[in-house]
Structure formats: structure tokens, C-alpha cells
Amino acid sequence: MRKIWMMFAQMIKQIGRDYMLLMLCIAPVLAGLVFRFGVPVLEHFLCDYFSANEILAPYYYIFDWLLAVLPGLLFAFVGGLVALGEIDDKIAGYMEVTPAGNTGYLISRIGIPSLFSMVAGVAVIAVFGLSSMKWTDILVLCAGSSLTGTITALLVIAISTNKVEGMAIGKLAGFLSIGMFVPVVFASPIQYVAGVLPTFWMGKYMLEGHAGNLLAFAAVYLIWLVFLMKKYRKKICL
């Protein structure tokens, strides 16, 4: 485990030298500031303009969902970009013969950032949250978001051939998070088309509170994980 933490510390140094990656890491805090102080001002303006009691307030929980998603998406994305650069430099392939191995390497680049993203998500909602979500729901939401982040990172690593492609695929992979909001927008059975996305089942759980939705999330997540891990292992063996 010590070797894994050493590799993680090495990645932190790389992030510190890259302002773009650094900005991605602090983006959830910037978004939290905008939501916490900007959205209530906008709500007050809209209510005055349309002479309404509330317009955005019933949907404050959606802003909190977005805040919970951002750390999981961005932290793992950063780890994926670092790993992609090391794959391009033929460094990642040599990890198989190190004590940590490829599994330890992925833990240092994706697993640990995802764990930190869960903590960051809880902290961001605690400080900047607009709604009154239960703590159990916050924990489940942030845990699900951090796991979804690993899928984003693996998509970047397994499919991209360089950092430019990695950035593009990372942005497209952000659409994985849209699945969470499908149950909010669509009430008809057509919503289940988004069931191939793990985040869809997170949204269903947050709205309905049924444990079965968490089981569905786990099943869909594992399918994505197994598929992308196979792609990753095939890539580094080339």
C-alpha cells in the first residue's frame, strides 16, 4: 500500500505543475460559490420579475446533485489524463513488474482520487448546498458519483490515444452524469432507455428511495467496469 501512496504523491506533483489540471481540481469549489451565492440572487430576481413566490427554489436539489457529481467526475478525469500521458510515454506498461502492479497503478491514478472525490463531494454540499437533503442521501449520492467517475477515467484511458483525444472523450463522458436527471424530466417508461447509464439508477434512488435502484446501479456499473478494464489491459499490452 505504501508504494501505491508513493505513486499517488507523484501524481499530485504532476498536477501541481499543470495549471489546467489544477483548475479542474478546484472547479467544484468555484461552482459551489456560484451556486450558493448566485442562484438565490437569481431566484429573488425572477420572483420579483414574474411576481411569483418561488421559481427555482423547488429545484434547488438539482443544483446540489450537480455539486455532488462534479468532484467525482473531475478528480477521476484528472487522474485519467495523468495516466493517459504515462501510457503514451510507455510508463504504465512497466507497472506490471513493480510491487504495486497494474492494479496498484490504477488505484493510485483513479481509485484514490475517486475516494477523495467522495469526501470532497460531501464537503462541497455541506458548505454550499441549497437544499435540505438527508445525510444518508448525500453519502449515497457522493459515493455513486465517485464510482461513476472511475468509469469516466477508464473511458479516457482505454479509448483515447493522446491527451487531446482524452480531453474530448472526457467531455463526452460527462454526459454519463445526465442519466441522473432523466427521471426528473421524463416520468414515462421511455426514461428507462437511459438505464444503460449507472447515474440513471442513482437519480431513481434519489427520487424514490428504493434499494433496488442501488442494486441496478451496481450491476450496470460493474458491466461498464469489466468492459473498460478489458479495453485498458488490451491497450497497455500492445
Q: 155-185: per-residue pLDDT in tens?
A: 888 887 777 777 778 777 777 788 899 999 8
Chain mean pLDDT for the chain: 87
Q: Which of 164, 148, 162 is nearest to 110 (CA)?
A: 148
For the cut 80, the answer to whether the pLDDT of residue 116 exceeds it is yes
Q: 130-145: per-residue pLDDT in tens?
A: 988 889 999 999 999 9
For the cut 70, the answer to whether the pLDDT of residue 127 exceeds it is yes
For the cut 70, the answer to whether the pLDDT of residue 98 exceeds it is no
Q: 17-46: per-residue pLDDT in tens?
A: 888 889 989 999 999 999 999 999 999 999
pLDDT for residue 94: 60
pLDDT for residue 56: 92
- Answer yes or no: are the C-beta atoms of 28 and 71 closer than 8 Å: yes
pLDDT for residue 167: 78
- Answer yes or no: are the C-beta atoms of 238 and 164 closer than 8 Å: no
Question: What would the grid cell of residue 179 be?
Answer: 442519466
Q: Which of 84, 62, 81, 102 is nearest to 22 (CA)?
A: 81
CA distances from 90 to 51, 65, 94, 197 (A): 62, 38, 7, 32
223 Cβ contact list (under 8 Å, min separation 6): none
